[in-house]
Structure 1
């Protein structure tokens, strides 16, 4: 059993912040995922503060020029990294005027370098259709980490609009990298019931990485009723699918998430899950016991027949 899902996600995000690979930051894997997140946030803050005064001066100059000229200068003179840094120092409405005139591909490149805490005021001023188009471009590139970072800055309307045009798989992968459990919960709650059922079905019936993503999504929800509803959707699957979910949780370090899902089920559904033949396998029982021991917050959950 490898690292837990939260640690895996934080290592990916730390690697992204340092422009390297998860293997290169694997040394941090011994830390709690919350400590890795704090380390990443300090790294990002340091990178932004290093040249912030310069970015601020350039942002002031843009006030003196008309928007069309600013757009032409930006596209010709500034790579997306610098443009993103400068946009973070501009007044949100002024930055949005430029963004609404720029090519989608350039904006998607810039999103890779936006600091989420500075992005929210800007995103709220951008035309929703352009936000959706940029997200679609990022999904096409597989930039789920970037979208997860920016989820905190999304309004409920943007969440609904984006969810309507991207796949269940993309939504699951984005959820793995969302910064805030609260905002992730808000985003999931904004989706219609039929879409939620489909997303859960895609997770349970998908490849191992999607099964892990589904477990992570349900476990992170801050709304008990919503978590219970999605857990019940998952438990509607047949024994074969639930057995695959069980083995994926063991293999991917997602047993804590699996136990959280199980605890959210109603008593009748729990009894049905406990009849899975796989739970009589000594190896499975041993792995589950080790996981429960390692995660005392879930140790009150009896996931044994």
Structure 2
């Protein structure tokens, strides 16, 4: 499930680079893995940059010859935002910021749409908080979460802190959906840690669980478990909505690694919900754990399940070859889960 939604985000980014108004024009690429789509996007961006490099260098050199306010007027009137973004990496960062200071937030937002953060790292690091906040406000007002997500991984934490207060909780979720990598997702949630419960409630209210689960899949182990704890701490209807979505989207392979590091009280809350009393769901969870190397991630959750809930898991374990069962039992012993394991093995037939 999450692979599909990561691919959807990557297709939207690729469509932006190719100047295709509709990402659906690229649906023929939808079966490619997200990593391949990102590699293609980077290659296209690099080809465009190489083709235009000499022209950008000449224009960048010319920008040094006139006062910054005049250069800003020329930029808005003659170059436009797309060319301005292309030139940004060819101008001294301090000079670029001086010019940008005289540009309107609307123009800056237009320029960031096509800005390649890989070629503007030094410039992005120099952006004043005030400018970042104004540009982010413009992008959020437009609903351009793709641009926000693409840039969020490249800006310093101080810029994120300046840029995100204007965003509503649901806006933060949409930005997270378009983040580029695990490090960016972890940083975003760390910066807005106090708003994560609000993000979860906003997600439930808008029924945007698919985006939230895609973001969950981007997180590293610690942040993934922390988000799991936050979700488990919500009202029953929010938690039930989340578990229903995980089941419908076939995303238990995303949740199980989170469960491995969750607090005992959070796992207990999960175990009590109706979804985890459904034998079909429990069989699916067991099958994923046994076929996708998530066995040790499953065991902390099984500690809180009743014998009735454990029965489908034991039945699925019994279907494994004897040699495989022996290996899984040894793994559980080595992980210190002997007591939990015994509760499952006691239910094995025979």
TM-score, normalised to structure 1's length?
0.87
Matched, 1:264 2:256: no
Q: Is the 8 A contact 2:176 2:188 kept in 1?
A: no
Q: Which runs of 5+ in 2 are unaligned?
A: 303-308, 310-350
State the SS of the aligned residue for 2:260.
Answer: helix
The 5-angstrom pairing of residues 84-103 of structure 1 reads 84-103=85-104
Partner of 1:67: 68
Separation in 1, partners of 2:269, 2:150: 38
Contact 1:3–1:252 (CA under 8 A) maintained in structure 2: no
What stretches of structure 1 move > 6 A for 4+ residues in a row? none
The partner residue of 1:275 within 272, 276, 289 is 272
Q: What's the secondary structure of 1:179's corresponding residue?
A: coil
| CA deviation after TM superposition for structure 1 residue 135, in Å | 0.5
How high is the TM-score relative to the length of structure 2? 0.77
Given that residues 257 and 294 in structure 2 are in contact (C-alpha distance below 8 angstroms), is that contact kept between their aligned partners in structure 1? yes
Larger Rg: 2
> What is the alpha-carbon distance in structure 1 between the residues aligned to residue 288 and residue 41 of structure 2?
27
SS at match of 1:165: coil
Residues in 1 aligned to 2:55 and 2:148: alpha-carbon distance in whole angstroms: 27
1:42 equivalent in structure 2:
43
Judge conservation of contact 2:2–2:214 (CA < 8 Å) in 1.
no
Contact 1:4–1:254, Cα closer than 8 Å, also in 2: no
1:234 aligns with 2:224: no
Distance in 2 separating the partners of 1:51 and 1:70: 20
Does structure 2 conserve the Cα–Cα contact (< 8 Å) formed by 1:219 and 1:261? no
Alpha carbons 1:159, 1:190 under 8 Å: kept: yes
Q: Which residue of 1 aligns with 2:195?
A: 195
The 2-side partners of 1:133 and 1:300 are apart by 47
Q: Which moved more, 1:266-275 or 1:29-38?
A: 266-275
Match of 1:217 in 2: 215
Gaps of 5+ in 1: none
d(CA) in 1 for partners of 2:295, 2:38: 25
Are 2:216 and 2:224, in contact at CA under 8 Å, matched by a contact in 1? Answer: yes
Higher mean C-alpha deviation, range 123-132 or range 2-11: 2-11
Distance 2:3 2:233 in 1: 28
Asked if structure 1 preserves the Cα contact closer than 8 Å seen for 2:129 and 2:163, the reply is no
CA distance in 2, matches of 1:22, 1:291: 32
Aligned twin of 2:174:
173
Q: Separation in 1 of the partners of 2:245 and 2:15? A: 24
- 1:168 touches 1:199 (CA, 8 Å); kept in 2? yes
Partner Cα separation in structure 2 for residue 188 and residue 4 of structure 1: 23
- State the distance in 1 between where 2:237 and 2:161 align: 33
